[in-house]
């Protein structure tokens, strides 16, 4: 249980913002960069996105093929497990529903995989029904490499480590097993509204 | 310095989440690296940089008094850590307050009699801004295979014979272990520094999997 921190006042409260923030978060105006290692730099000529694993048919897109898919512009709040939140962020990307359209998933879980050996696990439910995109543009500009460009997964309803930067594909798997940060103690699910930051939350 | 009843111990490089609660129930949370070495004790040290426009750091550095209670959670983080068993050689690169988790590693190393070959390249604005300056001079002079290399980016003292300017590829080529030594590399500091150092290390031929990064500093707002 919390106790009052003697003498702490905090910033003046913005009530409108406060209602939009999950527990423990605060709003930032910049866009912090956090990652475990050096930024991968795959040339677009070598970039592919794949759907693999427990599916009826493996799917694969080159960058050109990916760009030809229908895209959506979305505006969402995003929440990082390190406590910062950014409101009304603007993205453009291909909905994961679109990517899964021609594929029959045969399993309920996904391991998203990226350049640089990054992975993160998600339930298929958290990626479908208009909840997730593969995003290549942020704030009207091509997504910068340090923010995950050329394309990252975007799953705004979960903590942002689940929005895998430099994403290269989704592997359908029958069991939920921990990805990169999950192996290092972060929550398997990552719902900011239930403050599921670390394992055991 | 905090005394934490029931503290389970930590690994060098880990951090804690600090939570403050105002009288109206408003809460603010921030993360701080544990600067003290892992030890069989329930005391730990956080080094906090006061940000002019910060919400939590001015409270921690100016208001908090001996005897106050602080709510914290941890230790957190299993990736940006160094244990003795991981060996070396070690290349530690820090910018500003990014030295904090690396200091826990250096203190761990020193406390164990320090033999892992280690080079610390530490970028600060000026001589006065160097955190842990005296302690680094001491452990760097102890002849245990630790080299402390400072670079100053804004102001150098008149008799300065050390390096100056931001860390760049050339400085890293001079200072870093050759890739054939397969060093473990930890880089911590503001994002622009971490980004350019990590890129440079990879371009010099280092294994990107052996470069671990932690990005620090104000989150704005």
> Contact A30/B55, CB-based, under 8 Å?
no
Contact present, A118 and A15 (Cβ < 8 Å):
no
Three-state secondary structure readout of chain B: CEECCCCCCCCECCEEEEEEECCCCCEEEEEEEECCCCCCCCEECECCCCCCCCCCHHHHHHHCCCCCCCEEEEEECCCCCECHHHCCCEEEEEEHHHHHHHHHHHHHHHHCCCCCCEEEEEEEEEHHHCCCHHHHHHHHHCCCCEEEEEEEEEECCCCCCCEECCCCHHHHHHHCCCHHHCCEEEEEEEHHHHHHHHHHHHHCCCCHHHEEEEEECCCCC
User: Residue A113: which of A134, A129, A93 has the closest Cα?
Assistant: A134
Q: Is residue B160 part of a domain?
A: yes
Which residues of B are less than 8 Å from A23 in CB distance? 27
Contact present, B126 and B97 (Cβ < 8 Å):
no
Do B135 and B35 share a structural domain? no
User: Using CB atoms, which residue from A29, A34, A183 is nearest to B215?
Assistant: A34
> Contact A13/B26, CB-based, under 8 Å?
yes
Query: What values do phi and psi take at B102, rounded to 5?
Result: -70, -30
Complex ipTM, two decimals? 0.86
Looking at B76, B105, B121, which one is the last position of a domain?
A: B76
Which residues of B are less than 8 Å from A10 in CB distance? 20, 22, 26, 28, 55
What does the longest C-alpha to C-alpha distance in chain B come to? 58
Do B72 and B47 share a structural domain? yes
Element (H, E) at A86: strand A84-95
Q: How far apart are the first and last CA of chain B?
A: 27
Can you name the residues that pair with A121 across neighbouring β-strands?
A111
Q: What is the pLDDT of residue B142?
A: 83
Tell me, yes or no, if A7 comes closer than 8 A to chain B by beta carbon. yes
Q: Is residue B61 part of a domain?
A: yes
Do B119 and B50 share a structural domain? no
Can you name the residues that pair with B47 across neighbouring β-strands?
none
Report residue B4 as tokens: 């934490």
Do B59 and B100 share a structural domain? no
Q: Which domain does B7 fall in, by range?
A: 2-76
Do B89 and B71 share a structural domain? no
Do B114 and B140 share a structural domain? yes
Alpha helices in chain A (DSSP H): 15-18, 63-67, 96-100, 180-183
Q: Is residue B115 part of a domain?
A: yes
Which residues of B are less than 8 Å from A8 in CB distance? 20-22, 28, 59, 63
Q: Is residue B221 part of a domain?
A: no
> Contact A5/B59, CB-based, under 8 Å?
yes
Do B190 and B110 share a structural domain? yes
Do B98 and B50 share a structural domain? no
| Residues whose CB is less than 8 angstroms from the CB of residue A139 and which lie 6 or more positions away in sequence, other chains included | A89, A90
pLDDT-flagged residues of chain A (< 50): none
* Cα distances (angstroms) measured from residue A17 to each of A25, A65, A77, A171: 11, 39, 11, 36
Looking at B55, B76, B97, which one is the last position of a domain?
A: B76
Do B93 and B71 share a structural domain? no
The domain that holds B102 is classified in CATH as: 3.40.50.80
Which residues of B are less than 8 Å from A32 in CB distance? 191, 215, 219-220
pLDDT-flagged residues of chain B (< 50): 219-221
Tell me, yes or no, if A5 comes closer than 8 A to chain B by beta carbon. yes
Domain locations in chain A?
48-194
Do B94 and B59 share a structural domain? no
Residue with tokens 């994961």: A96
* Cα distances (angstroms) measured from residue B87 to each of A97, B82, B105, B198: 46, 9, 12, 20
Tell me, yes or no, if A38 comes closer than 8 A to chain B by beta carbon. yes
Residue of B nearest to A87 (CA): B221
Residue of A nearest to B189 (CA): A34
HSE-up of residue A62 (Cα within 13 Å, Cβ side): 6
User: Using CB atoms, which residue from A4, A10, A25 is nearest to B55?
Assistant: A10
User: Using CB atoms, which residue from B201, B202, B213 is nearest to A35?
Assistant: B213
Which residues of B are less than 8 Å from A118 in CB distance? none
Q: Is residue B128 part of a domain?
A: yes
Q: What is the pLDDT of residue B217?
A: 60
Q: Omega into B75 within 30° of 0, i.e. cis?
A: yes
The conformation of residue A147, written as its DSSP 8-state character, comes to G
- What total of structural domains would you count in chain B? 2
* Cα distances (angstroms) measured from residue A125 to each of A119, A131, B19: 18, 9, 32
Tell me, yes or no, if A179 comes closer than 8 A to chain B by beta carbon. no
B53, B196, B199, B219, best to mutate vs chain A, most A CBs in 10 Å? B219
Q: How many whole angstroms separate alpha carbon A54 and alpha carbon A56?
A: 7
Q: Is residue B131 part of a domain?
A: yes
Do B58 and B136 share a structural domain? no
Q: Is residue B169 part of a domain?
A: yes
Question: Which CATH architecture best describes the domain A48-194?
Answer: Alpha-Beta Complex (3.90)
Element (H, E) at A50: strand A48-53
Which residues of B are less than 8 Å from A33 in CB distance? 191, 195, 215
Looking at B17, B41, B76, which one is the last position of a domain?
A: B76
The domain that holds B60 is classified in CATH as: 2.40.30.10
Query: What values do phi and psi take at B73, rounded to 5?
Result: -130, 135
């Amino acid at each position: 249980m919390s106790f009052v921190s003697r003498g702490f006042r905090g910033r003046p409260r913005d009530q409108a913002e406060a209602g939009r923030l999950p527990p423990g978060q605060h709003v930032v105006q910049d866009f912090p960069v956090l990652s475990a290692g050096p930024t991968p730099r795959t040339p677009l000529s070598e970039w592919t996105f794949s759907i693999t694993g427990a599916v009826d048919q493996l799917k694969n897109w080159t960058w050109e093929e990916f760009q030809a898919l229908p895209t959506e512009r979305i505006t969402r709040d995003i929440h990082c497990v390190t406590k910062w939140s950014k409101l009304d962020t603007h993205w453009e990307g291909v909905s994961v529903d679109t990517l899964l359209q021609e594929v029959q998933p045969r399993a309920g879980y996904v391991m998203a995989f990226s350049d640089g050996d990054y992975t993160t696990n998600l339930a298929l439910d958290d990626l479908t029904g208009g909840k997730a995109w593969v995003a290549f543009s942020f704030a009207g500009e091509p997504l910068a490499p340090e923010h995950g460009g050329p394309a990252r997964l975007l799953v705004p309803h979960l903590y942002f480590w689940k929005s895998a930067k430099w994403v290269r594909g989704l592997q359908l798997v029958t069991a939920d097993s921990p990805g990169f940060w999950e192996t290092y103690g972060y929550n398997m699910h990552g719902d900011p509204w239930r403050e599921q930051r670390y394992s055991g939350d | 310095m905090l005394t934490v009843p029931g503290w389970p111990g930590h690994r060098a490089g880990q951090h804690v989440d600090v939570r403050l609660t105002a009288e109206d129930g408003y809460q603010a949370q921030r993360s701080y690296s544990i600067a003290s070495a892992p030890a069989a004790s329930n005391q730990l040290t956080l080094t906090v940089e006061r940000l002019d426009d910060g919400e939590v750091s001015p409270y921690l550095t100016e208001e908090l008094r001996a005897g106050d209670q602080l709510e914290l959670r941890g230790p957190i983080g299993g990736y940006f850590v160094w244990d003795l068993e991981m060996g070396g050689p070690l290349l530690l690169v820090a910018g500003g307050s990014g030295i904090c988790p690396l200091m826990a590693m250096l203190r761990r190393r020193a406390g164990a009699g320090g033999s892992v070959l280690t080079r610390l390249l530490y970028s600060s604005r000026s001589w006065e801004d160097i955190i842990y300056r005296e302690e680094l001079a001491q452990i760097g002079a102890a002849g245990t295979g630790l080299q402390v290399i400072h670079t100053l980016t804004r102001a150098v003292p008149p008799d300065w014979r050390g390096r100056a300017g931001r860390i760049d590829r050339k400085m890293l080529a001079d200072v870093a272990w050759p890739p054939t030594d397969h060093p473990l590399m930890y880089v911590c500091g503001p994002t622009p520094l971490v980004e350019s150092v990590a890129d440079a290390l990879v371009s010099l031929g280092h294994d990107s999997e052996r470069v671990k990064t932690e990005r620090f500093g104000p989150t704005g707002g």
